[in-house]
């Protein structure tokens, strides 16, 4: 037993001692981790990284729209983030006449900067441990439903206290370590955010789906926005009278670049990881969530892409949706591949054998946790068919036909309890119609109806399929034809009749709304059928996370990512999926020309002749490296995940050297397990960003706003 425990200790020592692993809470970096950061090259004291009382580096970091990250780089509120993070805004302002996706956009003066009513950025003001408040009325053995109710209720109370004290602040209570700890994050949201600069897609999306998640990269994945505020520098909705926001801290920008071994830290808002998840949870995610995404989105995207390639108006309309869908489609393919090749499930099962022995060796643990691993296995097995069906259901009916999604939202939304909020939701839904092609959407719906029937057991089919079989003789096309020719929801008129409470409109007789009711009903069925297993799994996964920390309680552990601000650190380092190929730690514009030639005729690698001409002159000026070349991208071993897109990449002095925008194909299992030899972070070199802004975009006025560190 002692030998087994020693092996376990060694396992976790290796797990937590890697300097490049971990998404750390800035106010919870312990002494040992801080020393590792300094050994690698951090020159700033921790008080300059995170300080709630005086301006610090964290005050230059933003959550961009709640789904990406960004960094403030000027006294007048300029923000750098990724091109794909700003893609919705770029697409919304684009048209065939003004194709900002293809050609890029630059605001020559402040009056030309484009507002984005639905976009906001958030600054973290402070964080507070509220675990004791949340768990004070919770006791061991409590029913999981009751526990969740208490947690949710107390979280809401704590969050409301923040806005009641200061209406400009927003509180969010987040769960850490599987629900064993809770922290309050207090944010200030700025809702007037304007598009300032976007490179052409031949820069911002160079390589497209082909290069996505692949090193080496040559993608200038950046865009520029500006935050506006009222006359008191406080948050305000868009108004022509608003002024550029003046931040408390501005990220300085380095023109010195980096070399092999240069310290690098990312600051941003990573979305979610599951590194304390059981093998059963990993297997379920692989076979259900990931596989349904692979199967269903592949079909949907093929329909979209065919239409996009034949019509510029459709290309602009669907560009952002296609990019968002395909990104996680390819990610799921890579994750499943990595899980198998790296034997992630097998490794986790070995850990679970040790957990079982750890519990059995201690009477108090056995009494508290019982047969934890067996309990997890039984619960996951009991919901296997249900989760398989619900995963395909979500992709086919919740994330495919846009008209169906709008209809589902319409019958599920209370427009009237809060008239202001209801009006805002209604207006937002009306706008969606401008981005829907009914002919494409009908083709998608037909494909989804067929795919869902093919992939799931008949017991999980909604009642709609009886209608299709009995009334339309099983012909999904005929059913869809009827829906799109008879529904009021094909135009905003149907939505307006719901919103205005038109008594002459029986919305449940409308065919698309009838389908939406069926979808919502089946979704509720899924939830109710799986409630017992879901509660047991939630409880046992929380125990699982707790035990992992108990077994090595003297070690430093970081919590899973949960969309709160995190720091990761590492170094610039060469990487190659094939060690014999000799790939370096950075790429140059030479690679752009090579790929343009290699993929001639492929739209993913088309570049404007004017840009190629500019790059061929090699007049890179102060943005060139020591060899006179222009670096485009670089790669580090920083620990990142989705949501880190747009994260600032700093050197040891806290100077901006790049923007994180991607991981690597071989490290796609990183949400589940960090592999130090494989996982990498790809960033766009900040010097390439500035070169494109100044020389290609002809916007030196933006460069003049920046704080450049020579």
- Average pLDDT (350-357) is 94
Q: Is the pLDDT reported for residue 590 higher than 50?
A: yes
- Residues with catalytic roles: 84, 221, 645
At 47 the pLDDT is 87
Say whether both 541 and 582 belong to one domain: no
Say whether both 259 and 284 belong to one domain: no
Say whether both 66 and 207 belong to one domain: yes
Q: Which residue, 489, 520, 547, sits at the end of a domain?
A: 547
Residues in the chain: 710
Say whether both 535 and 576 belong to one domain: no
CA nearest to 301, candidates 323, 333, 334, 316: 323
Q: Is the pLDDT reported for residue 392 higher than 50?
A: yes
pLDDT digits (tens, 9 = 90+) for 272-300: 999 999 999 999 999 999 999 999 999 99
At 703 the pLDDT is 98
Q: Is the pLDDT reported for residue 383 higher than 70?
A: yes
At 416 the pLDDT is 87
- How confident is residue 73, by pLDDT bands cut at 50, 70 and 90? very high
pLDDT digits (tens, 9 = 90+) for 253-277: 999 999 999 999 999 999 999 999 9
How many Å apart are CA 175 and CA 137, to the nearest integer?
A: 16
What does pLDDT average to over the chain? 93
pLDDT digits (tens, 9 = 90+) for 505-547: 998 899 999 999 999 999 999 999 999 999 999 999 999 999 9
CB-hemisphere CA count at 13 Å for 209? 17
Above pLDDT 70, what percent of the chain?
A: 96
Residue bearing tokens 């990284």? 49
Residue 256 CB partners (closer than 8 Å, separation 6+): 709, 710
pLDDT digits (tens, 9 = 90+) for 646-697: 999 999 999 999 999 999 999 999 999 998 889 999 999 999 999 999 999 9
- How confident is residue 70, by pLDDT bands cut at 50, 70 and 90? very high
Say whether both 423 and 473 belong to one domain: yes
pLDDT digits (tens, 9 = 90+) for 688-705: 999 999 999 999 999 999
CB-hemisphere CA count at 13 Å for 334? 22
Say whether both 518 and 625 belong to one domain: no
CA nearest to 448, candidates 464, 436, 434: 464
Count up the domains in the chain and report the number: 2
The H-assigned helical ranges of 175-259 are: 201-204, 208-211
Say whether both 225 and 283 belong to one domain: no
Containing structural domain, residue 227: 1-120+191-266+562-710
Cα 88 versus chain centre, distance: 14
At 20 the pLDDT is 64
Record the pTM: 0.93
Residue 219 covered by a domain: yes
- How confident is residue 306, by pLDDT bands cut at 50, 70 and 90? very high
- CA distances for 491 relative to 315, 487, 488, 513, angstroms: 21, 9, 6, 13
Q: Which residue, 503, 521, 547, sits at the end of a domain?
A: 547
Say whether both 405 and 514 belong to one domain: yes
Q: Is the pLDDT reported for residue 1 higher than 50?
A: no
How many Å apart are CA 79 and CA 64, to the nearest integer?
A: 9
Q: Is the pLDDT reported for residue 10 higher than 60?
A: no
Q: Which residue, 547, 579, 612, sits at the end of a domain?
A: 547
Say whether both 60 and 95 belong to one domain: yes
Say whether both 247 and 355 belong to one domain: no
Structural element, H or E, at residue 703:
helix 700-703
Q: Is the pLDDT reported for residue 422 higher than 70?
A: yes
Say whether both 314 and 451 belong to one domain: yes
């Amino acid at each position: 037993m002692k030998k087994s425990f020693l092996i376990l200790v060694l396992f976790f020592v290796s797990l937590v001692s890697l300097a490049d692993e971990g998404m750390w809470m800035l106010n919870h970096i312990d002494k040992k981790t801080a020393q590792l950061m300094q050994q690698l090259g951090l020159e700033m004291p921790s008080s300059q990284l995170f300080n709630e009382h005086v301006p610090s580096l964290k005050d230059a970091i933003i959550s961009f729209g709640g789904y990406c990250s960004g960094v403030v780089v000027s006294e007048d509120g300029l923000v750098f983030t990724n091109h794909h993070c700003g893609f919705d805004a770029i697409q919304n302002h684009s048209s065939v006449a003004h194709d900002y996706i293809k050609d890029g956009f630059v605001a020559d003066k402040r009056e030309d900067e484009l507002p984005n009513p639905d976009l906001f950025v958030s600054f973290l003001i402070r964080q507070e441990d509220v675990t004791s408040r949340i768990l004070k009325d919770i006791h061991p053995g409590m029913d999981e439903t009751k526990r969740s109710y208490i947690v949710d209720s107390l979280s809401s109370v704590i969050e409301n206290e923040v806005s009641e004290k200061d209406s400009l602040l927003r509180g969010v209570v987040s769960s850490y370590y599987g629900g064993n700890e809770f922290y309050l994050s207090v944010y200030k949201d700025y809702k007037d955010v304007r598009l300032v600069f976007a490179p052409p897609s031949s820069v911002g999306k160079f390589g497209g789906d082909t290069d996505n998640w692949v090193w080496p990269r040559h993608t200038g994945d950046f865009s520029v926005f500006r935050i506006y505020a009222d006359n008191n520098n406080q948050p305000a909705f868009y108004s022509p009278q608003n002024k550029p926001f003046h931040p408390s801290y501005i990220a300085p920008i380095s023109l010195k670049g980096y070399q092999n071994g240069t310290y690098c830290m990312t600051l941003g808002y990573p979305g979610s990881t599951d590194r304390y998840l059981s093998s059963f949870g990993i297997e379920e995610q692989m076979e259900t969530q990931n596989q349904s995404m692979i199967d269903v989105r592949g079909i949907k995207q093929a329909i979209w892409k065919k239409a996009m390639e034949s019509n510029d108006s459709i290309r602009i309309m669907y560009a952002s949706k296609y990019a968002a869908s395909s990104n996680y489609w390819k990610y799921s393919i890579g994750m499943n591949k990595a899980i198998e090749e790296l034997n992630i499930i097998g490794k986790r099962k070995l850990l679970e054998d040790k957990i079982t022995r750890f519990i059995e060796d201690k009477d108090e643990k056995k009494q508290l946790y019982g047969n934890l691993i067996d309990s997890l296995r039984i619960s996951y097995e009991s919901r296997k068919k249900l989760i398989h069906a619900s995963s395909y259901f979500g992709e086919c009916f919740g994330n495919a036909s846009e008209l169906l999604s709008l209809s589902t939202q319409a019958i599920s939304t209370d427009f009237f309890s809060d008239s202001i909020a209801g009006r805002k939701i209604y207006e937002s839904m009306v706008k969606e119609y401008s981005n829907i092609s009914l002919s494409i959407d009908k083709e998608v719906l037909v494909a989804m109806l067929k795919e869902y029937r093919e992939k799931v057991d008949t017991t999980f089919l909604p009642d709609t399929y009886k209608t299709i079989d009995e009334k339309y003789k099983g012909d999904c096309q005929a059913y869809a034809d009827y829906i799109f020719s008879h529904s009021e929801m094909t135009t905003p008129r149907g939505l307006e009749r719901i919103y205005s409470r038109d008594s002459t409109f029986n919305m449940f007789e409308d065919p698309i709304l009838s389908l939406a009711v069926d979808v919502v009903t089946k979704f509720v069925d899924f939830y109710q059928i799986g409630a017992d297993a879901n509660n047991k799994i939630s409880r046992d996964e929380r125990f699982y996370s707790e035990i992992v920390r108990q077994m090595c309680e003297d070690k430093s552990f970081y919590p899973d990512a949960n969309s709160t601000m995190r720091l990761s650190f590492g170094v610039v380092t060469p990487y190659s999926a094939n060690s014999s190929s000799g790939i370096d730690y950075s790429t140059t514009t030479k690679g752009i020309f090579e790929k343009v030639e290699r993929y001639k005729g492929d739209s993913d690698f088309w570049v404007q002749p004017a840009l190629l001409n500019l790059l061929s002159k090699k007049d890179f000026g102060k943005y060139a490296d020591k060899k006179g070349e222009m670096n485009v991208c670089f790669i580090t071993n920083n620990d990142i995940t989705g949501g880190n897109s747009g994260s600032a990449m700093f050197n040891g002095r806290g100077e901006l050297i790049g923007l994180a925008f991607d991981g690597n194909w071989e490290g796609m299992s990183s949400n589940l397990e960090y592999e130090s030899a494989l996982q990498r972070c790809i960033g766009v070199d900040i010097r390439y960003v500035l070169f494109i802004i100044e020389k290609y975009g002809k916007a030196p006025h933006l460069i003049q706003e920046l704080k450049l560190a020579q």
